[in-house]
Amino acid sequence: MTDKPARIVILGGGFGGLYTALNLSRLPWTPAEKPEITLVDRNDRFVFAPLLYELVTDELQTWEIAPPFVELLANTEIQFRQASVKSIDLDSHQVHLDDDGDSLPYDRLVLAMGGETPLNGTPGVAERAIPFRTVADAYRVRERLRQLESSDADKIRVAIVGGGYSGVEIACKLADRLGNRGRIRIVDRNDTILRNSPEFNRNAAKRALSDRGVWLDLETDVTQVTAETISLKYREQIDEIPVDLVLWTVGTTVAPVVRSLPFDRNDRGQILTNAKLQVIDRPHIFAVGDVAATYDINGQRVPTTAQAAFQQADYAAWNVWGSLTHRPLLPFRYQNLGEMMTLGLDNATLSGLGLSLDGPLAHIARRLAYLYRLPTPEHQLKVGLNWIVEPFRALVS
């Protein structure tokens, strides 16, 4: 009688989850060790989030930045389940799914469910504002812009709440799309945009926003959003400003199913892990990405960025493999490879590894770096060929 294969369940198909699954499938399992790997996500597509902005400006197509999981996993033995997670039974090692009441047993569990944008803290936000994390969000923004552009309104007024990376990048894209017709403002409660960004990138972003006429409402809170206005509080004075579109890019919270688990966590609700990415006191459960609060082997706090999740996926896969094959586990060592941001059409900035660059050359470097990071060689080839052919196609059309 042969032992059953180990069952690895990965919850979440973002950078942490998908890349962990793909890395696991490439490791040198012996026939006796080979596990069953199941990836669970409520959506049918992976989203390469750093390129999501290009959907709003029609620079890229959905298939390029959001390929279906079944396509990405076609040449692997990874099973994909499109489902929401209802609950996790830690005692029986079962993941209960919400679609048909099915359950997935696991021997190793990887929590990689990403973060959500909280919309319930300010009146009107949940009903009127649009977050910017998913393809569906980008579609909603794009559709609203088309409605506004086809109207007879003289100006299109957009408020973007949050002066972090997402807020700045989408502001530049919208400014370039709307041109002189756009009236765009960034609202942030801090005294500067991009607080945690390298100075070179922050200055490049400020120039890009200034060149595009984007207003900055700093040290300002939002008190209410209605169908036609946004109320801003600055130094105890509240102004009600007309607005056609509100984007909410501030804040991150973990999924309710993760919050319900009896794990040690920080004040943001993130699960505490050791440097090997294992949940504290639960060595058979690993956590990566936005749901995890991790300090690496050097005591460095790991940021909740796509770059960090991409790196964590290598270690998570190795350590899941090692824990099942009785090999040593590796402590995570985070390497800050720098930062890249898009700042409008054909414009970007990057800083890291001793290099600082902005403008069209940075735009090309950013595209090439992200092409290299796309999840599979097959998808990289398809997208790369399309990027080569696209300029010629545009010339003939």
- Tell me, yes or no, whether 214 and 105 share the same domain: no
- Asked if the structure places residue 367 within a domain, the reply is yes
Percent of the chain scored above 70 by pLDDT? Answer: 98
Specify whether the CB–CB gap between 273 and 294 falls below 8 A.
yes
Tokens of 382: 């398809």
Residue 57 lies in a domain: no
**Per-residue model confidence (pLDDT) at position 33:** 92
What span, in angstroms and rounded, lies between the C-alpha atoms of 30 and 356?
45
Residue 394: predicted pLDDT: 64
DSSP string across 292-351? EE-B-TTSPBPP-SHHHHHHHHHHHHHHHHHHHHT------------EEEE-STT-EEEE
Residue 140 located in a structural domain: yes
Residues 299 and 360 in one domain: no
Q: What per-residue confidence (pLDDT) applies to 99?
A: 66
Query: Are 141 and 207 part of one and the same domain?
Result: yes
Tokens of 293: 């609060």
State the Cα–Cα distance between residues 295 and 289, nearest whole angstrom: 12
Last residue of a domain, one of 267, 292, 325: 325
User: Are residues 95 and 204 both part of a single domain?
Assistant: no
pLDDT at 391: 76
The string over 253-290, giving b where at least 16 C-beta atoms fall within 10 Å of a residue's C-beta and e elsewhere, is bbbebbeebebebeeebbbbbebbbbbeebeebbbbbb
Q: Which residues pair with 359 in a beta bridge?
A: 348
Q: How many domains, the chain?
A: 2
Residue 18: predicted pLDDT: 98
- Residue 58 maps to a domain: no
What pLDDT was estimated at residue 390?
81
d(CA 33, CA 3): 10
**H/E element holding 39?**
strand 36-41
203 domain-assigned = yes
Shared domain check, 124 and 222? yes
Same domain, yes or no: 188 and 207: yes
Q: How many CB atoms lie within 10 A of CB 135?
A: 18
Is there a single domain that holds both residue 243 and residue 373? yes
Q: Is residue 24 part of a domain?
A: yes
**Which residue do the tokens 């936000």 mark?**
125
Q: Which residues contact 257 (CB under 8 A, 6 or more apart)?
A: 85, 86, 87, 88, 113
CATH of the domain at 352: 3.50.50.100
Is 52 contained in some domain? no
**123-155 tens-digit pLDDT:** 999 999 999 999 999 999 999 999 999 999 999
Regarding whether 278 and 213 lie in a shared domain, the answer is no
* pLDDT < 70 positions in the chain: 1-2, 99-100, 393-397
Q: Are residues 182 and 298 in the same domain?
A: no
Q: Find the helix or strand (DSSP H, E) in which 2 lies.
A: none
- Determine the 3-state secondary structure of 40 from DSSP: strand
- pLDDT at position 1: 37
Query: Residue 62 domain-assigned?
Result: no
Q: What is the pTM of this model?
A: 0.94
In a shared domain, residues 135 and 94: no
* Residues 219 and 272 both lie in one domain: no
* Count of residues making up the chain: 397
The whole domain housing 143 covers 118-250+340-397
Q: Are residues 373 and 392 in the same domain?
A: yes
290: domain CATH number? Answer: 3.50.50.60
